Amino acid sequence: MRERRLLTMFFSPSAALAVAVVAAMTVPATAGRTISNINTSVEPGNQAEDAIAINPTDPQNIVTISSRSGHFRGLFKAVTFDGGKTWARQVIGKRGPLGVICCDEQLAFDRFGNLWMAYLVRSGLDTVPIALSSDGGLTLRKVAAIVPTKPTGSRSPENAAAKGPALRASGATADQPSISTGQNSVWVSYTSFPSVTIQASGASVRGLGDFGSFSPPESVPTSGGRGDYGDTAVGPDGQVMVTYQDQTNGQGGSHIYVALDPDGLGPAGFGDPRLLARSRVGGFDYIPAQRGRSVDAEANLAWDKSGGSHNGRVYAIWTQENGNESDDTDVMFQYSDDNGATWSAAVRLNDDQTPNSQFNPAIAVDQTTGFVAISWYDARADLGSGGPGDTDGVPNDDTQVWATYSRDGGATFAPNLRVSKVTGAGTAVPFRHPWWQPETRCPDPGRIEAAAREGHGAPLRVRMRIAMA
C-alpha cells in the first residue's frame, strides 16, 4: 500500500478540490499533440491510489477507480462506454460482499472483456480479495480471496520491521497486490508478511465470466525472493514474471530482482530470482516531493503480447537516484527478449536537464501496436524560483505528470510531454488514520495503465490515468 497501497497515499494540497482525470493523449502521426484532462471522479478532496483499465473488446469502455479523500472505506469507480464523454459514477466497497475496501486497488481487463480487480480490505490483510466484472465494470463481484502463506523455513529479514499494518497482525498477511492478465490466465502477486516473500497465484480464464480456481500461492525461492513493492506481468505463452526490490526500508538503496514462472499455470514454480538493477532508492527513500511518505524504486513490468515485431519483449522500469540522497531521481528503462535472462542496458527516460526528482513510474504496452508508454511524477519545473512549476519558492517539491512513449520497442522515445495541467503543491492535510500519513505536493499517480488501439496512419491514442489536485 503505497501508491496503490497503504504505505503511500498521496494527499495534496490544503483545501483545494482535487480531481481525478483521464488524460487522452492524441498523437497524430505527423503533427503536434493535444492532451485533455478529464475529471472522472468529480469528488471533492484528493483521490489516491487510482487505477485505469481499457476494455480490449471495446476501447470506448474505460474504467477508473481510486481511494477517496478522507474515506478509507470504499472506492470511487467511474465507467464510460463512449470513450470518456459520459461516466457512470459509483462508490463501491463501503460494505457488502466486496468487503470494506481500504486500498491498493488495481484493475486489469483481459482479452475476453473480463475486468479483474485486486484490492485490500480494512478488516484484515490475511487475504487478497479478487473481484470480477463481466459487464464492462458496471458491477463487480468478489470471486476469490487469495490466502498468503508463510514459506517453510522462512524468517523475517532484519530490516522488515514495522512498516505497515501487515506487520502488526499475527500469521501471514499480504500487502502490495498487483494484478495482470494473459491470453488465458489472470495472475496476482503480492508480498507475504512476516517473511516478506514475493508470492503469486493465478487462475485460468476461458471466456467472459468463465474462469478457474486460483492456484495455491507459489513463492519466489531463495533469500533473493524476499522483497516488496512488486509488479506482475504475463507473457504471450502464459509465463509469469514478477519484479520487486529487496530493501523494504531505508534510503540506502536496493537490488531490483525479477523472477520467472516459465509455464504459468503449469507445474513449474518460480525460478531463482535474477538481478535486474541496483538502485540507490531504498524502500522508504525521502525526497522533497515525498517528504512525508517517501518513495521506493517502484519497479514495474509490461509484456508485449501484440504479435508484432517485438512480441515477447518484456519491459521493466524503475527509479534511480544519482548520488545517494541527492534527491535527483530518474526513471530508468530496460527490456529483455529472453524472459528476463538478460536485459538491455538501463537508459534514462526523463529528458530534463535539472537535478530534480522523477519518480513513481508506470508503464503499459498497447497490445494492438506494441507501442510502449511510460509516465511518472516529475519535479523538473520546480527550480524554486517561482513561476508555474513552483508554488512556494522551494525547489524540487512540486510535481507534474510527464510521459513518453516508444513506437519501436524501446529503441527510441518521443520527447517527454507534460500530461497534467496542474502542478501539485500545498500544505499537508491532517488525516486521522495512522497508516495513512498525509503527503503533500504530488498530483496523484500519472500512470499509464492501458493504451488504446491504433490503425495504420491513424492517430495514436494513449489513455492515462491521473488523479491530481
Q: Where do contacts with Ca ion occur on this chain (CB under 5 A)?
A: 251, 261, 263, 266, 268, 280, 285, 321, 324, 328, 330, 358, 382, 390, 392, 394, 397-398
Q: What is the dihedral of CA 216, 111, 136, 373, to 10 degrees?
A: 100
Q: Least distance from C-beta 312 to Ca ion, angstroms?
A: 18
Question: Which string of b and e fits 240-261 if b means at least 16 CB within 10 Å?
Answer: bbbbbbbbbbebebbbbbbbbb
Q: Least distance from C-beta 286 to Ca ion, angstroms?
A: 9
CA distances from 376 to 416, 437, 449 (A): 11, 22, 12
Q: Least distance from C-beta 379 to Ca ion, angstroms?
A: 8
Nearer to Ca ion, 3 or 328 (CB): 328
Nearer to Ca ion, 110 or 327 (CB): 327
Nearer to Ca ion, 208 or 428 (CB): 428
Nearer to Ca ion, 213 or 309 (CB): 213
Please calculate the CA angle 248-253-255 and round it to the nearest 5 degrees.
75
Q: Least distance from C-beta 361 to Ca ion, angstroms?
A: 12
Give the separation between CA 453 and CA 444, rounded to whole angstroms.
25
Q: Least distance from C-beta 324 to Ca ion, angstroms?
A: 4
Residue 415: how many other CB atoms lie within 10 Å: 6
Nearer to Ca ion, 209 or 312 (CB): 312
The DSSP bridge pattern shows strands 446-451 and 58-68 to be unpaired
Strand partners, 210: 207
Count CA within 13 A, CB hemisphere, residue 188.
Answer: 34
Nearer to Ca ion, 99 or 283 (CB): 283
Listing DSSP states for 271-312 in one string gives: ---EEEEEES--SSEEETTEEEEEE----EEEE--SSSTTTT
Q: Least distance from C-beta 350 to Ca ion, angstroms?
A: 6
Q: Least distance from C-beta 442 to Ca ion, angstroms?
A: 12
Nearer to Ca ion, 43 or 390 (CB): 390
Q: Least distance from C-beta 322 to Ca ion, angstroms?
A: 7
| 3-state secondary structure (DSSP) of residue 224 | helix
Nearer to Ca ion, 149 or 358 (CB): 358
Give the separation between CA 258 and CA 230, rounded to whole angstroms.
9
Q: Which of 376, 357, 274, 371 is nearest to 315 (CA)?
A: 371
